[in-house]
Structure 1
Amino acid sequence: MTQAPSHVQTLSGQSPPLWRLLQATASAVQATRQGRSLTAQLESVPHELRPGVQALSFQALRQLGRATALRELLAAKTPPPAVDALLCTALALCWNDADAPYPIHTLVNQAVEAARKQRQTQAQSGFINACLRRFMREHDTLVRQTDTDPQSQWNHPRWWVERLQTDHPQHWQQLLTLAQKPAPMTLRVNTRFHAVAAYQQQLVAMGVSAQAVGQQGLQLTKALPVHLLPGFSDGHVSVQDAAAQVAAPLLMQDMDATKSWRILDACAAPGGKTGHLLELYPQAHVLALDVDESRCERIHQNLQRLALSAEVRAADAGQPAQWWDGNPFDAILLDAPCTASGIVRRHPDVRWLRRPTDSGQLAKTQAALLKALWPLLVPGGRLLYCTCSVFKAEGDETVQAFLQRNTDALLHLSPGHLIPGQAPIGLPVEHNPLGEHDGFYYALLEKRQG
């Protein structure tokens, strides 16, 4: 077997057998097809296998559309789920020789070995071997046959491709192409400790190159473990995408940082935006909510690292009667639940987990949250509505419907959907994230006085 790449080396320096990595990767693909998130699935993977399985799973899920189309040509009927997952995993990893993590013959041999050593696939190991050997013999012809299938070409469900074509006729290809690339690692410099340029120089001294993005961001040319970041454990820097860094300064722009503003972070976990708000407005009283108690613990951990304090409560933001004390808020951040279609490059399983109806159902949840939280805002106060989605049903359409129903609401500022690589319209230049940021939607609403 070919020596494993560095990302699958264990702490002892020994490489786990590739067939074990392929078994676990195939299990991740099967779990995704059955509706389980990759993040949750990886937590069940043995620690020594996890780095390699994560890397292979990301690649397999980014190429699953092509792999599924190839499998349909190789097999007259769909094999059992575990067999299909292993076969598609092997095809996803080896169909494009230029991107294959191992030599093709090694992947094929080890995929067959993985089948032989697993109860659910053992009886079908000969079938898997026959399919993969045929694929190697007829590679060019089979790949050409799948080139015209949109799901195969773009490695996203057909409905997803069609929706982007409708919502973003000028940028749909760019969005789909970027989704196939690993996301950059972007830092948010805590300017209570360092100027952005000063922290950038610390990275340069370590041999780490970074480009300034937005107000406080540094986008690294190569990701590195957080424990290697200077001052990370002391809150000097956080990992946060450039588009997500827009939220806190946009909500609070031109507001006096010395005042004790009452701020609600309505869907706060894991706490990145909560921490950013308090870095910029340390005198503010922030109530951070999340419906999941375990996710509230993540907020606590993030704030503890930053040496910041907020009131954190496990509660449903859409049910204020259960948690609101009756005192209105000066500002509300509503990072609403969404399809996460804007962060698919960080979570390649999302494209296969979502269904065509999800966006419409989530839009109802978003509308319900806006309706519930709007009365909690003081006259003249602001509510920043955002989602990490590029689907318009979860952005422009939701906000326009809300404005039509609420005559006391003004659209103070709406840069709309932030498309990676495109300068957003109407966003003050100091907030412009630039670079290869995630897809986001922002609308800043203001409540009329009187």
Structure 2
Amino acid sequence: MTELTGGPSLPQERRVVTAIPGPKSLELQARRTAVVAAGVGSTLPVFTTRAGGGVIEDVDGNSLIDFGSGIAVTSVGNSAEAVVRRATAQLADFTHTCFMVTPYEGYVAVCEQLAELTPGDHAKKSALFNSGAEAVENAVKIARAHTKRQAVVVFDHGYHGRTNLTMALTAKNMPYKHGFGPFAPEVYRVPVAYGYRWPTGPENCGPEAAAQAIDQITKQVGADNVAAIVIEPVLGEGGFIEPAKGFLPRIAQFAKDNGIVFVADEIQSGFCRTGQWFACEDEGVVPDLITTAKGIAGGLPLAAVTGRAEIMDAAHPGGLGGTYGGNPVACAAALGAIETMRELDLNAKAKRIEEVMKGRLTAMQEKFPVIGDIRGRGAMIAIELVKDPATKEPDAASAAALAKACHAEGLLVLTCGTYGNVLRFLPPLVIGEDLLNEGLDIIEAAFAGL
């Protein structure tokens, strides 16, 4: 049986023995400030020594409950046995040859797994990269090569990365885009089905938002000019927005009808995070291309574009790749992560996390009117905070205060959202239910202390 805790020597318990951050972390933070660029932020400046299961241990001996998973990366834990075993064995054999120079089996094996796991029974191929942004950028390249068109359509509240093209695709200015332009051209943004904030209510949101988006694409861009439509099936940094039912299938059908490549950006939502292998499966959407990263390799840098073989083969030989893309150690880790997901049925585990979290959070919403909306699926859950439930005015200050209060008690949580007013919860899928409930106790106490 795969070990959940990252080793028996790492107790699965919260332990707060100093102020957070503690004195040793503060010393390291001073060293960091002297040599690390100020533009590289940190949610919580505690310096990690060990991590696994549902906890992160710092240099001061504190053990924090992890509701962040390194931003949805360590879904199988920070030191899953199969990931460590396979990566260690690969390290001993060789660290790099460059797949574009002399290939190796691990890259092929990962592509075989992706062909099997991603939605649809059509012939599929993949190309491997280093990061989510790189995967999205290459998906656009492939779509342009296939369609011989240039325009790319994206959505309000979307996030796709920090490269020049993916900053253009991303909706939020601060901190992702501010001061970094000019950006890549031929990018067009249309409305998304944000049910909680839709003017005529969530029940009308899906069809109305789809009609608006399609109308804008048709009139302002021209469907015949669009190479790709790129969307997150659950929008991540934009606030864990689940597009209202019917929206994604309608947009996918519009793409199909007009020869447009439909790209599902599953970088944050993929690999069991939402209780399915991929979030687009919820409404039976089969994308032409799917981008993955984050949870794919248990913490090692790996990303992929997977899709219809005829589309993936549109790029000329040598047109895709990169020195480190599909690094052999990262590929070994990915095979270990997928092994763990299968062995432990982490889709079922994600659904149980959703059941526990939504039950507790719904009870909190009845007591604390600052909680305007609870949303998400699996272990990708968020609460949107508002100053007044009637006006839905965003309350970013409360989100920041709650995160700070949780951090002080030894619970790592993250914020997000276009308005900065969303608390998002991304616990490792292997977290113990006792830790999950203890974390929710801390969140409830933080609301009571607002």
Both proteins in one fold, TM over 0.5? no
Larger RCO (CA within 8 A; separation ≥ 6): 2
Over alpha carbons, which structure has the higher Rg? 1
TM-score of the two chains, using structure 1 as the length reference = 0.30
TM-score, with structure 2 as normaliser: 0.30
Identify, as 1 or 2, the structure richer in helix.
Answer: 1
